[in-house]
Structures are given as structure tokens and as C-alpha cells.
Structure 1
Amino acid sequence: MIETTQVTTAIDDPPILVRRATGWYANFLLIAFALLPAYLIAYLYFFQDPRLTFEDHTFHEIAIAAATLEGLFVSYVTWQCYRHSGEPILRWLTLGFAGFVIIYALHGAFTPLAHHAMWLFLLYGPASRLVMAILLLVGLFSYQAAPDPLVRRGDRKSWATWFVIFVIVDVLVGVLASSPIAGALGTRLSLEGGAMVISFVNVACMLARKIRSPLMQIFGISVTAFALASLAFILGKPWNHMWWLAHAIFAGGFFLLSFGIVQAFHTTRSFSTIYSQEELLARLRESVARTESALQELQRSNQRLNQMAALDSLRGAVSRRAFVERVEHEIERVKNGGAPFAVLALDLDNLKQINDTFGQQAGNDVLMRVIDIGLNTLRPYNGTARMADDEWLLLLPCATLDIALMIGERIRSAVQATQFEENGERFSATVSIGIAQSAHDGKTSEAIIRAANERLSRAKQHGRNCVIAV
């Protein structure tokens, strides 16, 4: 059997000062982009005559109708993502979008009453934004919580109850708008100010929790836009340019958040993982660049392991009990604020067929080669355990689900690309991989390992030679 040796060249990391400076600059760009509407608000406030107006009821009705249709579509897509992943934040996002649509639609419907019943026309706008801001804040508090059970995701009674609540809000706003106290007590200012404050609290909570995943960055920028839109509504008056700018700012935030939802729908259908293949590849390249020297050391360690006695003939494998203890240690580290970890469950496809064709020794040789390929592909790992003749587990410390997914894909593609030779006959082999991540798939070692094994079974059921992480 002829094996080729892969030679890698270590590239020094850039200076730590450069890394920090680029990190600060990236954060500055995000903040500057999020505050872009504030510059426009300041410009109109200081340089625009507030008495200038553009009153076009038809244009306003068309814009609200388009916003309603878009809101319904985004609500449906978000609901589909929630049904798949069960993430509570997606449930609250669905309710936030739906509540906004149901209440905001009446703002457009009552446009013809703008002069005859001003408060009936105006109050549905801030009321819809306040309801959505509250639901988005509740959703943020549920970020990274355990997925909802399947029964709850499809509970029609629960969803119907919320829709009834939104209709009741519509009725209450109508009653308030028709009462003589609608304008006297500053109702519009209270509703709009409440939406603004809650949106800013939403952003402050994100910063306090140090939530930095790409989708949640989009979430934060969008909520900032919602807060600034409410500020513009407070500073503006119906039909003047500040009032129209407020609509545009809110629409921009809604468009951006919708983009994140659609990206989640086309990838993981989860709001807590990386949302695009490009981002996954970028994260992987960054990780590989930082750990290139560690990979070389890992290769040298693998050579030493071949000469060491182990609890199993598998490369560096430990008992299941020892592996579980290492997982428990990682769980405690995460509880103390450490980065999440991942567990990979791997299975060599069709090992029995290889044994029947070439003999059991050939099967063992293929298995050991596949294991070497897997370990040589990994960043430094923290344990390997053999579950069966052709199944084993790998523990990846400080690895989020997206990084583990890309590493699993690298292992799968590397194995598939390897040619084996036995008795002059060349053949290939494949592996199936299931991945689980701490917190996302449970808080105990048993739950995390069970999740990885369940996804491994799904990978084998889907035709083998694939990686499943959700």
C-alpha cells in the first residue's frame, strides 16, 4: 500500500496589535453602519424646514400594502425555520412579525381618515412597533435556549391565541384613538417612545451578553434601525420629510432582518448558527491559519501514538467512560464562560463489504487509514473513543457548530478522495458523520453524545457519505 505524505508550511500569525486593530475597526464599521440612520435624522432635524410636506394618500396606502404583504411572507418563512429548528427566538420573531403586520395594516387602511380621524390613522403605527419591540426583546432573552418540542411547534391553539391577542390590541387602539384623551395625554409619544426605549434595551442586552454571531449582528443592527425610526417618528410630524424618513429607516431595518431570516431558511434554518456558506468557509480558513503549526504537531503526535500502548487498537482511543469524563470537563468549562465544544460521531461506511471482499486485515488497515485522515484533518482535539468496530467519537474543544460542520466536511471529503489498494486492486471508502454542540443539543454528556449518534444514524439513512449537524 503506497501512502503519500502531505507537507504543510507554517505561516506566522500577524502581530497581535494588528489583529486587535482590525477587530476594533470591524466593530467600528458595524457601529457606524448601525447608526447611519442617525446621521440622516440629524441632517433633516437641523437643515430641513419641518413645514415642508409631501402628502400623498395613494402612495402611502400602496407602501403600507406592500409592507403588509412582505411582513406576511417573512412571518411564514420565519415560522418554517422555527418548525425545523424549534429555537424559541424564532417563535418570538414569528410572533413579532405577525403582530406587527396585523396591527400595522390598519395604519394603511385608515389613511383616508388622516384629516377626519387623525388619531385613528396615527396610533396604529406606533402600536405595531411597540408590540414588535416587546416580542423581539422576549425573543432575545430566549436566545440559545433549548429547542421547543415538536408538539409545541405545531400547537395551533397557542398560535391562534396570539392572533386573537393581536386583534384585541387592534380593538383597544381603535377605542383609545376614538376617545377624547387620545391627543391630550400624548398617547402617540408614549407608544412611540416605548417602542424606541425597548428597542434600545434590546441592543443593550445584546452587547451585555456579548452575542456576536452573524445573524444576531444583523438582528442588532435591525433593532437599532427600529429604535432610530421611532426617534424620527417622534421628531417628525405627519407627512413632513422626517416622518417619511422614519418610514424608510424602519423599512431598511425590516429588510435587513428579513435578509437574515431568508439566509437562515436556505442554510441551517437556525438563528444561532452561521447563516451562509461563505461565512463558514471564512471561519474555517481563519481557524486553519491560526492552528497550522498545531496541526503539524498533531501529525508528529500521531506517529508517536503508533508506538504507544493504548486501551484500544484505535489511534489514541480511550474508553467510553474516560471520553464521557472529558466531555463532562468541557461542560463545566462552558458553564464557567468558556467557548462551546462539539462532538463528532463517525462511521466507516460499508466496512463489512470491505472485509468480505479483501479480508478483515484489509478492513482494519482501511479503518486505521481513515482514522489517521480524520485526526490529521482536525485542529487539536481532546479525545477519541471507539464505540464499535467501525464507529468512533471525537471531542473538539472550543469549536462552535459551524466550525465542527466544516471540519466534519473536510474529513468526509478527504476520506472520499483517498484511494486504497489491496492485492493490486484500488478502491475508495466513505464515512458518515453526525455532529452535536454543547448547550445547543443539551447540557449533559449523555444528551450531547446521543444527539451526535442520532445525527450519525440520519446521515446513514440519507445514503451515507454525508455530514449532518442539525
Structure 2
Amino acid sequence: MRVTTAMQTEEPFALIRLITQSYARLVLVAFALVPAYLIGYLYFFQDRTLKFENHAFHEIAIAVATLEGLFVTYVTWQCYRSSGEPLLRWMMLGFFGFVLIYALHGAFTGFAHHDIWLFLAYGPASRLAMSVLLLVALLSYRQPADPAGRRVGRRYWLTWTIIFLVVDVLVALLATSRFAGIAPLRLMESTALTLSVLNVAVLMLRRIRSPLMVIYGISVTSFALSSLAFLLGSPWNHMWWLAHVIFASGFFLLSYGVAQAFLTTRSFATIYSHEELTARLAEAMARTESALQELQRTNQKLEHLAATDPLTGAANRRHFIERVEAEVARARRDGVPFSLLALDLDNFKWVNDAYGHQVGDTVLQGFVQACLDAIRPYNGVARVGGEEFMVLLSRTSLDAALAIGERIRAATAGTTFAGETGRKVSITVSIGISQFGSDGDTIDALLRTADQRLYHAKRHGRNRVTAT
């Protein structure tokens, strides 16, 4: 029943998601085609005889566009220097080439009456140059980053500057030659239109949908529609001015994308889409979780090392005292006693002298294991000195502790420890026991009593357990 309910809930959600995605794409398409609505309106309803010829306004507009273009060129160059993306390199050249060519369209505004072709030719030439370079930019999308040396090489950028200046000269020669006329201008504008449409088609075929590339696609659509408006208009009429506005809108939108790249990743290819953000966030959270787990494991290892004798693996004196302090507090609260065992290996110095310290270390390790086996389920074994050990027996009376101490003594006496030299070593242990309550209610009193009884066992023949 629960599975069926979950499936029923999931299906409407998937349908709503599909509808929402379709709606979002339709909104983007409708927004990108806004200039087309304006073009259609003017084409069918404008009075073609109406004109607005204002040279000063045109020159100011071109000057503003030139300065804005230089700024965007610089920002794009900074992004390219950082990321090395070929896409940004070609975009930067597209902006720069447009500025160097388009600036003369404004500079020759005053020639509009006696040399109309010199005035007009730089407009379609600049848009053609930009459309070529933007198409090359799109085709280089996701290509490997350029090496650092190429990003700052002056010769490369100087070469392109010369190319754009040569284009300026060639346009001037065309505009003042016998081939000057409306046909070459329409050819350049039509080619720019075709390349911009091709740019949008490639973008859609490659299914590039990151946010900045969506901005790129809408901008290039605006460039295509501006070329269409220029082809349908004539100098100074409303369609001609609309074409300028459409192109400027696309240019401003693309410059916004460049600014966003500069303020974030300085890249067009590695910018955030919702899916990429979700994936990267999940990846970052996974890395963080892994790092936290590793840190936790490291802390646990450090805590273990700080609380453990490195040779035998038993608790060290500091950790043992902390455990006894906690046990004292619990015993005072609950009224249930516990016991301590003080252990000392008999004649252990003789083992080190006769067999060496390596064998002695092996004996210590084997003794701790024998203690652990003997006191199960307790595990409170601590090494508090060279061959001195303590055992904490929670909730254990003196009689039970005496029995456990006897098990430890018997297990030790009955075990033969093998040294690294192959020799067999036998050893015994003396044990003193104290109990919380009857032997005191402080750590010092309990430890002192256990030690006294340990030394009593030593003085009376060793290999014995003393509880009184």
C-alpha cells in the first residue's frame, strides 16, 4: 500500500516537472524572439517615409557603445587569462574586432550626406567580423584550456589588432571604390545573419544549456534579428534605429554574461547550472562527510594512543585513573562496590637480564593477553609501570575479585611465553586486592591498600594473591 501511494505521489510530481521545464523553455524562446515581434510590427505598420536623422545622437550612441565594448573586451580578456578557455579567447577577439571596426561607423557619421557608403559600410562589416568570431568561439566550447604562455603572448594579440585595422582599410577601399553600393552591404549583413543563425543552431544541436550559454544563445539570436532589421530598414528610418537597439540589447546581455563569469568562476564552460550546482554540492558534502569521518577516525586513534600503552595495548596509568575516578563516583551514587587488583610480575628483571629486552617485551604482551582472557567479560587492564599492572573490576566484591585474581595467577603460572629467540620463558605474578568501601572510598586509599597487599604477597613467597 505504501509503495502504491509513493508511486501515485511521484507520477504527478514528474508530470508537473515536465510541464514546468517546457514552460521555462517556452518563456526563454519567447523572450529571445521579442525583437522579432517589434520587427514585424514596424515592417507591417511603420510609415517608411518617417526618419530620425540626428548625427550628434548617433555619434554619442556609437561612442558609448565603443567604450562599453572596450570594457567588455577587457573583462573577457581577464576571464580568459584566468581560465584559458578558447571560447573566451574568441569571444574577446569578437568584442575587440567589433569595437575597432564599429567605431569608424560613428566616426564617419558626418559623411552620411556626401559619402553614404563610407558611413554605412562599417556597420555590417563590424557585425560580420563579430559573427564569424562568435561562431568559432562556440565551436571551441569545452576544448582544453590554452597554455599560460599563450594567454599573455603579445605577438598573438598584436597580430589580431593588425588584422582588424587591415579590415578597416579594406572596408574604406570598398566604400570608395566603383563596387560601392547597397549590394556589398547587404551581402555582408546577410552573411552575418546566416552565421548568427548557424551559431544558434549549433548551440541547440549540441544541447548546451548552462546558464551563461543560454545568455549567449539569446544574445546571438538578437544579433541575427538585428541583421534582419538592418536588411529590412533604410538609413535613419525607424527599422534602422530598431536594428541598432536590438543589437545593443544583445550586446548588453552578452556583456552581463561575461560579468557573471568574471564575478564567479571566470569561465563560461564551468559555470553553474542547477544540475551542476546540485551535483557539486552533493560532491562537496560527500567530501566534507568523508573528511569528518577521517578526522573522527584520526581523533579516535589519537585518543586511543593517548590512553594506551604502546607496547602491550593495555590502558596507561592516566586513562586507568580516569576510569577509577568515574567508578568511584558511580559507587558513591549507587552504593555498589568495585575492586582493584595490583599486579607485579615476579623476578621480571631476571627475564630482561637473561634473555634481553625483546624477550621481556614479548612476555609483557603475552601476560596482558593472559589477563584479558582470565578476567572476561571485564577488560580493565592497565600498565602502570615497567612490569606493574592494575585491573579494575566494576561492581565486583572482594570475594569475587579474589577468585578472578586467582585465575590470573594460575593462567600466568601455567603459560609458557615464547621469545623472539625461540626460547620458552615461564613467569609468575603476585597480586594485591582492595575493595571500595571496606578499604576506603578514595582513589589514593584504594591504590595504597592494593599496593600494600601486593608487597605482602611478594614478601611471603610471590606467586600468590592477597586480599587481607
Structure 2 length-normalised TM = 0.59
1:16 corresponds to which residue? 14
1:213 corresponds to which residue? 210
Runs of 4+ in 1 over 6 A off after TM superposition: 285-288, 343-346, 348-353
Compared CA separation, residues 89 and 173, structure 1 to 2 (3 A): same
Distance 1:351 1:164 in 2: 61
Q: Which structure 2 residues correspond to residues 8-407 of structure 1 after superposition, within 5 A?
A: 13=10, 14-183=12-181, 186-275=183-272, 283-284=277-278, 358-360=303-305
Distance 1:267 1:286 in 2: 15
Q: In the TM superposition, what whole-angstrom CA distance separates every residue of 1:152-173 from its partner, at most 9, and x where no partner exists? A: 1111101110010000000000
Compared CA separation, residues 10 and 252, structure 1 to 2 (3 A): same
Q: In the TM superposition, what whole-angstrom CA distance separates every residue of 1:386-430 from its partner, at most 9, and x where no partner exists? A: xxxxxxxxxxxxxxxxxxxxxxxxxxxxxxxxxxxxxxxxxxxxx
Q: In the TM superposition, what whole-angstrom CA distance separates every residue of 1:58-115 from its partner, at most 9, and x where no partner exists? A: 0000000000000000000000000101110000000000000000000000000001
Q: Give the drift of 1:358.
A: 3.8
Distance 1:11 1:85 in 2: 47
Q: Which letter does structure 1 place at the counterpart of 2:262? A: F
Distance 2:177 2:148 in 1: 44
Distance 1:192 1:356 in 2: 72
Determine if contact 1:119/1:182 at 8 Å carries over to the other structure.
yes
Q: Which letter does structure 2 place at the counterpart of 1:284? A: T
Q: State the structure with more CA Rg.
A: 2
Q: SS of 1:42's equivalent? A: helix
Q: SS of 1:146's equivalent? A: coil
Q: CA RMSD in A?
A: 3.2
Q: In the TM superposition, what whole-angstrom CA distance separates every residue of 1:233-278 from its partner, at most 9, and x where no partner exists? A: 0100110000000000000000100000000100000101335xxx
Q: SS of 1:23's equivalent? A: helix
Q: In the TM superposition, what whole-angstrom CA distance separates every residue of 1:201-247 from its partner, at most 9, and x where no partner exists? A: 00001111111111110000000000000000010011000000000
Determine if contact 1:274/1:280 at 8 Å carries over to the other structure.
no
Q: Give the drift of 1:351.
A: 9.0
Determine if contact 1:215/1:260 at 8 Å carries over to the other structure.
yes
Compared CA separation, residues 191 and 281, structure 1 to 2 (3 A): closer
Number of aligned residue pairs: 299
Q: SS of 1:274's equivalent? A: coil
Structure with the largest fraction of helix: 2
Distance 1:109 1:190 in 2: 23
What runs of 5+ residues in structure 1 fail to find an aligned partner? 1-8, 289-294, 299-342, 363-470
Q: SS of 2:48's equivalent? A: coil
Q: Give the drift of 1:17.
A: 2.3
Kindly, what percent of the aligned residue pairs are identical? 59
Q: Which fold has the larger relative contact order, with Cα–Cα distance below 8 Å and residues 6 or more apart in sequence?
A: 1
Distance 1:282 1:138 in 2: 25
1:446 corresponds to which residue? none
2:403 corresponds to which residue? none
Distance 1:197 1:96 in 2: 16
Determine if contact 1:215/1:273 at 8 Å carries over to the other structure.
no
Distance 1:345 1:125 in 2: 57
What runs of 5+ residues in structure 2 fail to find an aligned partner? 1-5, 308-468
Q: In the TM superposition, what whole-angstrom CA distance separates every residue of 1:325-362 from its partner, at most 9, and x where no partner exists? A: xxxxxxxxxxxxxxxxxx99976798999589745589
Q: Give the drift of 1:21.
A: 1.5
Distance 2:198 2:112 in 1: 32
Q: Give the drift of 1:23.
A: 1.4
